[in-house]
Structure 1
Amino acid sequence: VLPLKNWIYRRILGMKVGKHTSFGLMAMVDVFFPEKITVGENSIIGYNTTILAHEYLIKEYRLGEVVIGENVLIGANTTILPGVTIGDWAVIAAGSVVHKNVAAGSFVGGNPLRELRPASTDEHSEQV
């Protein structure tokens, strides 16, 4: 099922999705601008996560690329807003609202989003 799902994201919706990436049940990508979403290899998008590349506000309209790096874990029920870049090896806690860029290797969560553990450069070399 996973290869078929990723094929649909790539071929039908025009998203850029890396190899071995997994989208949880009910993950929702922006249906108006899916081509503005990139997800790197070996990343996990949690259950019921929403990835938006556009946002309509009362007096404003936002449109922005969403780039999710490689080996990223996004917890369930997370909302990712337009114009956000999430670095490689980052972890997003469940239920978060990602409204700003996330540094590679960091652990963030909450609403408003805050750093739960600083990025560590040594940590990635052991996980590879």
Structure 2
Amino acid sequence: MRKLLEHPKPGPENSMYYWRRYVGFFKVARNFIVISLGRYIPFLGLKRWLYRYGLGMRIGENVSLGLMMMPDVLFPELIEIGDNSVIGYNATILTHEFRVDTFKTGAVKIGRNVLIGANVTILAGIEIGDGAMIGAGAVVTKDIPPKVLAAGAPARVVKKLE
């Protein structure tokens, strides 16, 4: 089950209309610049440093963030990635979602020794257990237990890993 915090919308328009009431303009502008730089940097150590100190993400040791990896632009500080994990090319990690009538946020926790394939989308409020593998193109809509292979849209456990 996804762990999401619901924020009421302050007026009659859809929740995205009020994005500046949920997060400051200058924070989003800074995050956008840092993420835009980080998406193209091929140097893993520099990218980890940039995302740790420029965005406030909690990133473990020896984490590899693939080219074009896209962390959430509004609340990247809600992302935690465990030691020795690999986040693949063009993977997207979201920590917020706008709905018509509400706005929700949720931390994303990725365990140690996790492999996230290329073009994976991880929704807000998800936890991925240690040693899990997520197949390319998957959409992770619910928690993934440790040491399993999950794939598909939505992602489903395919098999247990040894």
Consecutive unaligned residues in structure 1, runs of 5 or more: 124-128
For residues 1-128 of structure 1, the aligned pairs below 5 Å read 1-118=43-160, 120=161, 123=162
1:28 counterpart letter in structure 2: M
**Aligned residue pairs: how many?**
120
Paired with 2:140 and 2:123, the residues of 1 have a C-alpha distance of 6
1:58 counterpart letter in structure 2: V
* TM-aligned CA deviation for residue 57 of structure 1: 1.5
2:114 counterpart letter in structure 1: V
Q: Give 3-state SS (helix, strand or coil) of 1:55's partner.
A: strand
TM-score normalised by structure 1 residue count: 0.91
Aligned residue in 1 for 2:6:
none
Paired with 1:92 and 1:60, the residues of 2 have a C-alpha distance of 29
Whose helix fraction is larger, Structure 1's or Structure 2's? 2
* TM-aligned CA deviation for residue 59 of structure 1: 2.1
1:26 counterpart letter in structure 2: M
Paired with 2:99 and 2:151, the residues of 1 have a C-alpha distance of 24
Q: Give 3-state SS (helix, strand or coil) of 1:71's partner.
A: coil
* TM-aligned CA deviation for residue 104 of structure 1: 0.3
* TM-aligned CA deviation for residue 112 of structure 1: 1.8
2:73 counterpart letter in structure 1: V
> What is the identity percentage for the equivalent residue pairs of Structure 1 and Structure 2?
52
* TM-aligned CA deviation for residue 115 of structure 1: 1.1
Q: Which deviations, in whole Å up to 9, do the C-alpha atoms of 1:13-57 show, x marking residues without a partner? A: 000000100011100000110110000000000000000000112
Write out the 4+ residue segments of structure 1 that deviate beyond 4 Å after TM superposition: none
2:111 counterpart letter in structure 1: G
TM-score normalised by structure 2 residue count: 0.72
